[in-house]
Structure 1
Amino acid sequence: MTRGNVQLKTIENPVRRRITFSKRKAGLLKKASDLALLCDAEVAVGKSIRIWQPQTLHLELENLQKETTHSEKVCKHMIGEDLDVLKFKELQKLEKKISLGARKIRLRKEKLLRLESANLERKIGRNHKACHLNVDIIEGVNDYLETDAATQQDLPQTNLNLT
């Protein structure tokens, strides 16, 4: 005895629709695992796969809107806006968060300044060595010139007149 073809159309009753969805979903997952086992195939079905229904999308959208609104409020509080709605304990928590954030920022800034300072010191060291090298070269040239001038004076002046 076989079942007849089921006419596919949207189920109007929301309770029946959810029940049908969960039963058919379970059946599809069982068939997929059977197929994977029988045919030694990889089937990409599991809890990571989401099947979206209009109700699910609507709920997801509402949740995202609430999350966005909350994040916007938190950001405003962090920059010092809309503080009138906060109670004393909430203000203390916010102050603590901001203090911890400022501390982290200072530590990062100090680390970057130390790195930059070390880089500048290395550059200064290289420039200092280059200056000493230039001074040594100049002194060597001066010594050479002085020695050459002294040698020129020690030589007898000869007047070669070939006429």
Structure 2
Amino acid sequence: MVRVKVNLQRLQNPANRRVTFSKRKAGLLKKASELSVLCDAEIGLIIFSATEKLHEFASPSMNRIIGKYKKDCALIGHHIELLEHIQTLHLELENLQKETTHSEKVCKHMIGEDLDVLKFKELQKLEKKISLGARKIRLRKEKLLRLESANLERKIGRNHKACHLNVDIIEGVNDYLETDAATQQDLPQTNLNLT
């Protein structure tokens, strides 16, 4: 007897639909049972009919199979998260490597290496960047020199004031000593012999 391929579509006749469901459900349950016995497989089969009636087959038990399924799903979910995280890290690493390579090329160009690969316009842009950089460096250097010069002038001014103060003190002491010597010369000499 030749089997005819059945066109799979929803059966319109409700009676035919119930009969087909019953026959195919029985065949499916039989196949699940055979697979469980022959291959020592753990099988859980859940079927809800159109009338919401539950039909199930489990070997060894539905709770054990559902527990294993949840555990495997959790592990798979965790593995998927790890794989996605690893892929993200790989993309970040690739981007960082590209940026590093680009930065190394730019640094080499800035110090005058590997210029053979650059075209005329690229060389002009590089020259402008270097000129601008040199100008900024000069301005910063001049600013620092002005600040240092101002600091030195302040120190010189303080030292100059301190020198003038010292000179004034010395002159004041000399004046005092001269005045004191003159005063002692003007005093009459008295001989105080108490014998």
Q: Which range, TM-score by smaller chain?
A: 0.5 to 0.7
Partner residue, 2:181: 149
Aligned counterpart for 1:77 among listed residues 92, 106, 109: 109
Partner residue, 1:159: 191
Aligned counterpart for 1:65 among listed residues 97, 114, 117: 97
1:100 shift after superposition = 0.4
Describe how 1:46-65 pairs up with structure 2 within 5 A: 52-65=84-97
Question: Between Structure 1 and Structure 2, whose CA radius of gyration is higher?
Answer: 2
Query: How far does the alpha carbon of each residue in 1:36-85 deviate from its partner, in whole angstroms, 9 at most, with x for none?
Result: xxxxxxxxxxxxxxx94333322222221111111101011111111121
| TM-score (normalised: structure 2) | 0.57
- Cα 1:63–1:110 change in 2 (3 A) is same
Identical columns (%)? 88
Structure-2 separation of matches of 1:124 and 1:65: 54
Partner residue, 1:99: 131
CA RMSD, aligned part only? Answer: 2.3
Unaligned runs of 5+ in 2: 1-47, 49-65
Higher strand proportion (structure 1 or 2): 2
Alignment size in residue pairs: 124
| TM-score (normalised: structure 1) | 0.67
Unaligned runs of 5+ in 1: 12-16, 22-50
Partner residue, 2:15: none
Amino acid at match of 1:157: Q
Partner residue, 1:121: 153
